[in-house]
Amino acid sequence: MESIVSTLACLLFLLSSLISYILLTKLKREAEKCAKLPPGSMGWPFIGETLQIYSQDPNVFFATKQKRYGEIFKTHILGCPCVMLASPEAAKFVLATHAHFFKPTYPKSKEKIIGPSALFFHQADYHARLRKLVQSSLSPERIKKLIPDIEAIAISALESCAVGQVINTFKEMKKFSFDVGILSIFGHLDDSYREKLKQNYLIVDKGYNSFPSNIPGTAYHKALLARKRLSQIVSEIICERKEKRLLEKDLLGCLLNSRDEKGRTLTEDQIADNIIGVLFAAQDTTASVLTWILKYLHDNPKLLEAVKAEQKVVHESNNGGQRALTWAQTKNMRCTYRFILESMRMASIISFTFREAVCDVEYKGFLIPKGWQVMPLFRNIHHNSEFFSEPQKVDPSRFEVR
């Protein structure tokens, strides 16, 4: 009797084990069927495909991958497993409609330079609050009032370039965009403050992409010290505004007057971090776009003449520059505006951006694992013939249709 019971027990155990195995295998297959990793190569252990991306044009690297694997593919670069996305819908998924599943990622060395309270390093309510404040300070109503001042800065920048002298266009555009940035952030700032901000900002800018070493004398260490001085200068400007009870509507004014739902104001460190963050985000990108616009104008004489003709009409309507440029006139520069859009598409100065998945995310049947980097490839989108015919050709007329 005992032997029969033992045999039955063994049979039941084997049967239950077999059923469990079959069920688990089925569940695993269904899970894999529901969401699997995108196609692609992870390259060599540890280094992934980092060497490949640095040994060739990164744009060629990504374009080749897209051609082979499609608009969603995986790779391993810069020490991180990544999912690359090369379609407008995917970019919108990551950056807009499902942005809460992803967070911006920056190296700690960059965070130290800009400041940990800058909106780029945050999510949720704090990020949304700061973003609204920045947007409100750069609203059309605000910019309308700045047009004459921006025009004056542009004229001054052109006049400072000596005739017959070779200049570095990008450096000159950086000076110009810095001055416009200071105007947008602080309004009409005292010259002494502007000069101190510029001197220290140049040191920070120089050390931003340097090797992050705290050894005295290195570019990075100098940048950290200059960053502290920038905070002190911003604190002095804040103190002066409070003493004079100035209620400006520039970015600094928006940050100073902001209160959250509990009535709390931003600290001076938070204000300084976000001011320097906005200046950093705007300056290099704006200067790069301006430089490429000039390059494409130079390379396309017919388009240059068309833009010049449009600007000449505006200049003459203002009595040869005796009257200041107006917002309405800038909105009427259709040829110039289309050329700017086409230059931005062609240059695609921000080729991609980094986001990190904060949880497992499924997109179009593919799994994006938690902790993986997600990179929308803007340049691939802007140079895709499905969206822009003859993508390598400078053709502003493509923007005549929305």
Angstrom distance (rounded) from CA 25 to CA 19: 10
Task: State residue 220's pLDDT score.
Answer: 87
Per-residue pLDDT tens digits for 70-94: 889 998 887 788 899 989 999 999 9
Please report, to the nearest 10 degrees, the dihedral formed by the alpha carbons of residues 368, 372, 378, 384 taken in order.
-50
Which helix H or strand E contains 277, and what residues bound it?
A: helix 268-299
The upper half-sphere exposure of residue 111, i.e. CA atoms within 13 Å in the direction of its Cβ, equals 11
Helix (H) / strand (E) containing 252: helix 251-257
Whats the size of the chain, residue-wise? 402
Question: pTM here?
Answer: 0.78
Q: Is 137 exposed, middle or buried (0-12, 13-18, 19+ CB in 10 A)?
A: buried
pLDDT, one tens digit per residue, over 351-389 is 888 888 999 999 888 999 999 989 898 988 999 888 899
Percentage helix, strand, coil for the chain under 3-state DSSP, each rounded to 5: 65, 10, 30
What is the C-alpha separation between 185 and 173, in angstroms, rounded? 18
Say whether 314 sits in a helix, a strand or coil.
helix
pLDDT tens string 186-244? 888 888 888 999 999 889 888 887 777 788 888 889 999 999 999 999 888 888 888 77
User: 369 near 357, Cβ under 8 Å?
Assistant: yes
Run of H or E including 81: strand 80-85
Q: What percent of the chain has pLDDT over 90?
A: 27
The answer to whether 324 touches 151, Cβ cutoff 8 Å, is: yes
Of 21 and 77, the structure prediction assigns the larger pLDDT to 77
Contact 212, 220 (CB under 8 A): yes
| Residue 104 β-bridge partners | 355
Average pLDDT of span 336-362: 91
Sign of CA dihedral 31, 33, 37, 41: positive
The residue behind tokens 């921000």 is 350
CA separation for the pair 141, 197 (Å, rounded): 27
- Distance between CA atoms of 345 and 66, rounded to whole angstroms? 19
Q: What is the rounded distance in angstroms from the CA atom of residue 209 to the CA atom of residue 220?
A: 8
Select, from the ranges 37-51, 142-156, 230-244, 293-307, the one with the highest average predicted confidence (pLDDT).
Answer: 293-307
C-alpha 63/C-alpha 383 separation (Å) is 9
Instruction: Please give the sequence-ordered ranges of beta strands (E in DSSP) within 257-394, or none if there are none.
Output: 355-357, 361-363, 366-368, 373-376
Distance, C-alpha 130 to centroid of its chain: 16
Q: Both tokens of residue 298? A: 């130079």
DSSP bridge pairs for 363: 366
Secondary element (H or E) of residue 102: strand 102-104
The confidence band for 305, taking pLDDT boundaries of 50, 70 and 90, is: very high
Question: Which residues, 6+ apart, have CB-to-CB distance to 318 below 8 Å?
Answer: 324, 325, 329
Q: What is the mean pLDDT of residues 384-396?
A: 91
Q: Please determine, for residue 298, whether its predicted confidence score (pLDDT) is greater than 60.
A: yes
Mean pLDDT, rounded, of the chain:
84
